[in-house]
Amino acid sequence: MTLPDTAANPAGADRTFQVDLRGLVDLLSHHLYSSPRVYLRELMQNAVDALTARYALEPAAPTGPFGIRLYADGSVVRVEDDGVGLTEADVHTFLATIGRSSKRAERIAEQRGDFIGQFGIGLLSCFLVADEIHVLSRSARTPDAPAVEWRGRGDGSYTVRTLPSSARPRPGTTVTLTPRADAGEWTRPAQVHALARHFGSLLRHPVTFDDGTGGPDGPGVPVNPEPAPWARTYPTPGARSRALAAYGEEVFGFTPLDTIELDLPAVGLKGIACVLPEAVPAGRRHGHRVHVKGMLLSEQAEEILPDWAFFVRCVVDAESLRPTASRESLYEDDTLAAVRDALAERLRAWIARAAASDPDLLHRFLQAHHLAVKSLAVHDDEILRMLLPWLPFETTDGHCTLDEFARTHRTVLVTSSVEEFRQVAAIASAAGLGVVNGGYTYDRELVHRLPEIRPEATVADLDPATLTAHLDPVDRETELAAAAYLAQARDALAVFDCDVALRTFHPASAPALLVDSREARHERTRSQLAREQEGGLWGDILGALRHEAPRAQLILNQLNPLVRTAVTIDEPELARTSAEALYGQAAMLSRRPLRPAESSLINRSFLDLLAHALRKDS
């Protein structure tokens, strides 16, 4: 430990932070940057910003000769640009001071929005793959400026030398890295070329790559030979559409159902949204590729679109979006919020166009992404009015649109759960009732809004009373003849708080219907708990909430031959067993989860009936 020098630093004097560069680089590699591969992006980014500053300094400069050249042969990685370059004072100020950016230089400070980087720490990322960084630069601000050499080392030391201008004949900067042995994964020539294409394929300045082999392509293979696909000209709108779709397939690996062109001039954003051809799980958000001024910022930028837009994947290039310090995601600010809203409006407009002019495309889109549209329609009245009649729902008429269903059924009944729908679907259909399964996400809420679009339609929740009211009663003689059996059945099923009734309904193949809502089961469970907690604190609380618990109903179908035989049973035990078996079968047909007592009842009744049949045969 080093003791402070009190003579050199008297009490109360200002002191300077000591920075452990090794520790800082380790911090960057583990917490700021996602991977060492970003070193090349940072070097290319600095080169692009230097070129931007050069054009700001020389507005009339030709665009062709200025560019970025990459070189990697396995022993070194070099990035060279024709940008504004650095003076010796710039080197001391910007390369040797962590956190200070050359973009803050006086003559270009007001133009910081033109630059990709804003934080002045990008060069440090090179220490993720190399122990030494060599920079050779010559400033374009002074005609006869000398060349300046800077060598920075991972231990925090650096040297600066001024060289004759002949050491670098043209203004610009060359950064050379000697990779560490453990960094070969990121510095091999093929990998450097792949990373350059990955990060810089949409850059506006020419970028070339040379691996030193003088292969068939020769030195200086173009990294970004063509502008972004949306920036090119095409002979016909159809050719443009096909080219954008092909680019989307190349980037994302799927053939888009359709491609939506995105253009927000206010923030300099252009790009495409590719509509996924298949459904995705609700709420699953895909990452989007976001470029800032041509440089790839992120492949997983979820924040560029709202949550409901999970049916598309986007690739965009923007001028005015702010990157975070790592330059791997977007800074959440008012600009990003406005962009998100504007892109959402573009997606709504695409849906509207499909609904108005391309019913085939709309049908294919809704088949795959009806859940996403339902999510949007819940909160967006315009989409609701436009698409609710077209959205598919599960109904007693099969899967169909609400528009088709409402034309057949003036009163539309909707269940509160999937199990309730499955419980009553066949019988409700036979009774002529129009029931929609409201148990899926958003469905019940949307069905209840149908009268906003179709005023002639009536929507109501389905309850047991509505269904049983449509079941025909049996005649008095039949009811009296079955009274003894029904009493035995009620006694056997009392443990399930279940009443038993005899009715006639179709289809005749259904022996029984169990009418029991989820809310009723919850209320009975609460009542049972209150009885068990009688006299305790919880008993008092639950007792205060308790009211007459609704009972389930097992409705036996007199049209069914098995039921007609069962109600004539005069043997008490066999009558109880048959009633339990009918209850168990009806419970299974409802497709709701069985309670342990119900599972036990089903097994017991089956074995009892089997034993009775064997005794009878013997």
The helix or strand, by DSSP H or E, that contains position 551, with its residue range, turns out to be none
CB neighbours of residue 297 within 10 Å: 25
Q: How many helices (H) and strands (E) does the chain have?
A: 21, 22
Q: Please give the structure tokens belonging to residue 532.
A: 């068990």
The helix or strand, by DSSP H or E, that contains position 275, with its residue range, turns out to be strand 269-275
Could you list the residues known to form a binding site, using ranges. Answer: 42, 46, 81, 173
Nearest partner of 355 among 384, 378, 375, 394, judged by Cα: 384
Burial class, 302, CB count within 10 angstroms (exposed 0-12 / middle 13-18 / buried 19+) = middle
Could you list the residues known to form a binding site for ATP, using ranges. Answer: 42, 46, 81, 173
Cα separation, 467 vs 475, in Å, equals: 19
Burial class, 77, CB count within 10 angstroms (exposed 0-12 / middle 13-18 / buried 19+) = buried
User: Quick one: DSSP state of residue 126?
Assistant: G
Cα separation, 415 vs 438, in Å, equals: 5
Long-range contact set of residues 196-201: C-beta below 8 Å, sequence gap at least 24: 196/40, 196/44, 196/70, 196/223, 197/223, 197/224, 198/296, 199/40, 199/41, 199/44, 199/295, 199/296, 200/44, 200/68, 200/224, 200/294, 200/295, 200/296, 201/296
Looking at the DSSP assignment, which residues form a beta bridge with residue 460?
A: 413
Nearest partner of 98 among 11, 20, 10, judged by Cα: 20
